[in-house]
Structure 1
Amino acid sequence: MSAHTLRDEGDLTPDEHLELHEALSWFNEQLFVPKVLEQSEHRCAISWFKPAAEEAIRRMWHLKQLLDRHGHHVEVLRTLEPGSVVYEDDWQLIAKPRKGQRF
């Protein structure tokens, strides 16, 4: 993940380092990582935020800005067809792209 690379190898100011640490900590504390992702058949699955995840989305935009400032491009994708859903909760869904589907 680019955020971990930036954390470990990036040229961050002390304030940016704290900002990144706080962002990663928040996501680690707030977002559940389902066991389904440990299964090899789901290794290509993509996590998507639902519109109801307003706080997570706001924080992700902030993290994107920090990464962009340091040359780590983050592309924002939106879709109504995420693929075959393998997990879903209030904030996120995880789906495997269907055959031939590209993001």
Structure 2
Amino acid sequence: MICGKAYKMLGILKRLAHDFKLGLSLKILFCSLVRPILEYGAVLWNPHTASNSRQLEMVQRKFFSFAGFILNIHHQPHDYVPVSEFLNIDTLSNRSITLGFKFLNGLIS
């Protein structure tokens, strides 16, 4: 359900941004349209299985593939680290861990 909604927003992003040439504009669109869907309530329902986590990461990898093509960033097939580093976007699993720590710190403080 979450991945389906995120894929729909990613499709909208792709249609809107197919002529964009600035990485910052693509990053802003992704971080404002797609990533909130993927991270909504992640502190409470953090994906417990590897397959759920993989499905969420797949949406982000689809965006990295699109951004790498649009921005002409050369990378090995299925290796999106250069694109994520260029756009300065962390993986969803790392962000989930960080958000969990921030949430726990807020509860303790």
Name the structure with the higher strand share.
Answer: 1
TM-score (norm 2): 0.31
Name the structure with the higher helix share.
Answer: 2
TM-score (norm 1): 0.32
